[in-house]
Amino acid sequence: MSKKIIIIGGGIVGLSSAYFLSKEGHEVTVIDKSDMSTGASFVNAGYITPSHIIPLASPGMIAKGIKMMFNSASPFYMKPRWDTDFFKWSWYFHKSSTKEKVTKAIPVIKDINTLSLELFEGIKTSGDLGDFQLERKGLLMLYKTVEAYRHEKDVASKAAFLGLEVNELDKKQLARLEPEVAIDAKGAIHYECDAHSTPTQFMPKMISYLKNVGVDIRTNEEVLDLKLKGRHIQEVFTSKSNYKTDEVVLAAGSWSGEIAKKLHLNVPLQGGKGYSINVARPTGVTIPAILMESKMAVTPMEGFTRFAGTMEFSGNNDFIRKERVIAIANGAKKYYPNIDINENEMANVKTGLRPVSPDGLPYIGRSSKCANLTFATGHAMMGWSLGPATGKLVSEVVDGRNISMNIEPFSPDRRFK
């Protein structure tokens, strides 16, 4: 039976949810407070990464954050501030960062990433969006030190055990694989299972497709309140209108926690700011890479190469710290000595906020306290990679159909202890 569904949030997760829900015949409205041309879904590294099996909340991360707290140019930066929500989230993050919890999370993260890659490929094959970049060249983890190699070797062993394609490359093999660009690295771990895309190409095509099939997309419209009767949301109030609804999907990224509070729901989230610089000159880079010691990503996209990185916890704002931009340019230079990111390219840096849960796993599924609310947020650095999978899972939850995978670990009601 067709339902009226409001999706709050027009990023990759919200649009993917609209994509799969509309295919089931539902009347879908997407509401976003921006013009849907900026944000994390447009400035990310474009990775679809089954290899990213380790959640952000892993042993030692809080210690690193505290150590780097007073260095605003560090890859992982937590701005000192008085914020009770941030204090609680930090404590939950600390409690989640155990070896046991990471071990439990690994196969779950692998499964949802693998599902999402299949769905990306399905969207491309369907022709719904026309042609768009989706290349499966894998991901290079470039390292300069023995310590970084040993760390990634351990991750690669876990990935291989789970059936993912992964290889080791020495300096000569790396040069043969990337002959058009000089790389200063001892070697690389090559995750052949990964793919990449161009977000600024995919997103407009998805928006256009959704409009053409009747999805109502409302931009520059902020959700102000939700009318709750018993355990059901009856109406959504925005800065421009109000909407009666049968179902609500909360996919508002880093702002999802604030919207959940309007329903008296506690969903711990913090916005982790990322930066990206586009270089529209030929760089010679043909395979996506993560520069391990610099902790940044490089992606050959349609028409440019993107250099992206950093995780900054400083509140939900778009303030640009110049020292962090310079750190990305310098980090790239250390691995690609012939690539100089110039002042103009740095001046055009973009930022986006990634919604980070305390344990690094997304929130996907029904709220036990609100019967017609489905969460789809908290994906941290895997938002782009997990967009289609989340959309598919959301459609299955809303329709009460068999779920493609076990989503219990993603429960929005889970406790962090």
Q: What is the pLDDT confidence band of residue 65, given thresholds at 50, 70 and 90?
A: low
Cα separation values, 118 from 111, 125, 140, 310, 392, Å: 11, 10, 21, 28, 11
Longest dimension (CA), the chain: 65
**Residue 166: count of CB within 10 angstroms of its CB:** 23
Q: What is the pLDDT of residue 144?
A: 97
| Distance from C-alpha of 76 to C-alpha of 324, rounded to nearest angstrom | 10
Q: What is the pLDDT of residue 58?
A: 73
Q: What tens digit of pLDDT does each residue of 48-58 get?
A: 999 998 887 77
Report the percentage of the chain scoring pLDDT > 90.
83
pTM of the model: 0.95
Tokens (6 digits) for 155? 């991750």
Q: If you average pLDDT over each of 56-60, 314-318, 365-369, which comes out highest?
A: 365-369
Q: Residue 64 pLDDT more than 70?
A: no
Average pLDDT over residues 232-245: 97
Alpha-helical segments (H) within 303-349: 322-335, 343-347
Q: What is the pLDDT of residue 76?
A: 73
Range 190-226 burial, b when 16+ CB lie within 10 A, else e = bbebbbbbbbbbbbeebbebbeeeebebbeebbbeeb
Report the percentage of the chain scoring pLDDT > 70.
96
| Distance from C-alpha of 249 to C-alpha of 272, rounded to nearest angstrom | 22
Tokens (6 digits) for 404? 């493609």
**Residue 399: count of CB within 10 angstroms of its CB:** 16
Q: What is the pLDDT confidence band of residue 310, given thresholds at 50, 70 and 90?
A: confident
Q: Tell me which of 249 and 320 has the higher pLDDT.
A: 249
Rg, C-alpha atoms of the chain: 21
Tokens (6 digits) for 354? 């990634």
Average pLDDT over residues 236-248: 97
Q: Tell me which of 6 and 70 has the higher pLDDT.
A: 6
| Distance from C-alpha of 346 to C-alpha of 361, rounded to nearest angstrom | 32
Cα separation values, 3 from 18, 77, 121, 246, 320, Å: 12, 43, 28, 6, 41
Yes or no: is domain 4-410 CATH 3.20.20.70? no
Q: What is the pLDDT of residue 82?
A: 83
Tokens (6 digits) for 200? 């600024």
Instruction: Parse the chain into domains and list their residue ranges.
Output: 4-410
